[in-house]
């Protein structure tokens, strides 16, 4: 991190010198633009390293392919500020264009929501919104690579914890479902969270997804995924984790 800060400082000093030129020519102007871009990119990298830690940053960049791709996997999410009734109303909102509900919530997901609404964590969030940083990763991004490699939930989460990632609050499920309505490529993932028992006492986590009918109409879904300690996942399955250092 210190080396990143020193590099940013050096680039900024070069830029300051260039900007002091009273009559910069076109070449100097282009150079300044390039330096501004470099400073911005260096800042982005420094922020990623600060959020992830240098070792995890290096590992994930190698896994996903580039700093830019890793950056695209990280997003901010605000949770809380709604009572159970208010959040449920948002989830049951009607699309004025189609006259249908915006989101499809199955019985198991509603069962998890009902239990979440009763939790002390949810009640605290009603009065105090939280802004958290999330990261979306495929199972393969965590280092599982074999053709027949199907890690269990215990193995998957243990690996994520080794990298400094954390479980999301359960509230990430419904709030992420409400937020992600346009980018369908980001609309299909499990929420890495402590399991909640559904109405059949089955351990489940939230799963956001979408379906498309024969008329190419998209249905945004809030479902669940069975996730006991022995549940196996495929390499292309995606999970949303929370970046470390952000407690409920």
Q: Where are the alpha helices (DSSP H) in the chain?
A: 2-19, 26-52, 54-64, 67-73, 84-91, 107-117, 120-127, 153-162, 172-179
In a domain, 66, yes or no: no
pLDDT tens digits, 96-141: 877 888 899 999 999 999 999 999 999 999 999 999 999 999 999 9
Per-residue pLDDT, 2: 47
**4 inside domain:** no
Instruction: Give domain status of residue 220, yes or no.
Output: yes
**How many Cβ atoms sit within 10 Å of the Cβ of residue 13?**
10
Predicted confidence at residue 193, as pLDDT, reads: 97
- Of 160, 84, 95, 66, the residue nearest 123 (C-alpha): 84
pLDDT in tens, 143-157: 998 766 789 999 999
Q: Tell me whether residue 144 is in a domain.
A: yes
DSSP per-residue codes, 133-171: EEEEEEGGGGT---TT---BHHHHHHHHHHTT-BPPPTT
55-98 pLDDT, tens per residue? 998 999 999 999 889 999 999 999 999 999 999 999 999 988 77
If one counts the domains in the chain, the total is: 1
Separation of first and last alpha carbons in the chain: 26
Task: Specify the pTM.
Answer: 0.80
26 occurs within a structural domain: no
Q: What percent of the chain lies above the pLDDT cut of 90?
A: 55
Instruction: Output the CA torsion 150→231→173→189 (10° steps).
Output: 20
What are residue 135's DSSP bridge partners? Answer: 74, 241
Token pair for residue 153? 């939930």
Q: Of 38-42, 82-86, 162-166, 198-202, give the lowest mean pLDDT range.
A: 38-42
More confident residue, 61 or 50: 61
Residue 199 domain boundaries: 77-242
DSSP structure class, residue 191: E
Residue 22 falls within a domain, yes or no? Answer: no
Q: What is the pLDDT of residue 102?
A: 87
Quick check: is 130 in a domain? yes
Tell whether 58 is covered by a domain: no
């Amino acid at each position: 991190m210190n080396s990143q800060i020193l590099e940013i400082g050096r680039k900024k000093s070069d830029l300051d010198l260039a900007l002091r030129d009273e009559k910069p020519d076109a070449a100097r102007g282009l150079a300044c633009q390039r330096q501004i871009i470099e400073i911005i990119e260096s800042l982005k990298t420094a922020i990623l390293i600060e959020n992830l830690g240098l070792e995890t940053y290096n590992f994930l960049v190698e896994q996903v392919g580039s700093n830019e791709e890793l950056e695209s996997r990280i997003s901010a999410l605000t949770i809380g500020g709604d009572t159970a009734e208010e959040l449920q109303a948002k989830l049951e909102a009607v699309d004025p264009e189609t006259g249908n509900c915006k989101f499809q919530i199955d019985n198991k997901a509603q069962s998890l929501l009902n239990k979440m609404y009763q939790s002390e964590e949810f009640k605290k969030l009603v009065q105090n919104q939280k802004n958290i940083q999330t990261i979306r990763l495929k199972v393969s991004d965590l280092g599982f690579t074999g053709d027949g490699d199907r890690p269990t939930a215990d193995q998957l989460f243990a690996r994520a914890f080794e990298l400094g990632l954390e479980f999301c609050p359960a509230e990430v499920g419904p709030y992420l479902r409400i937020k992600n309505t346009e980018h369908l490529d980001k609309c299909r993932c499990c929420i890495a969270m402590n399991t909640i028992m559904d109405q059949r006492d089955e351990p489940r986590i939230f799963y956001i997804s979408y379906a498309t009918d024969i008329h190419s109409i998209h249905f945004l879904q809030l479902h669940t995924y069975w996730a006991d300690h022995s549940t196996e996942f495929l390499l292309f399955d995606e999970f949303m984790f929370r970046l470390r250092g952000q407690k409920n």
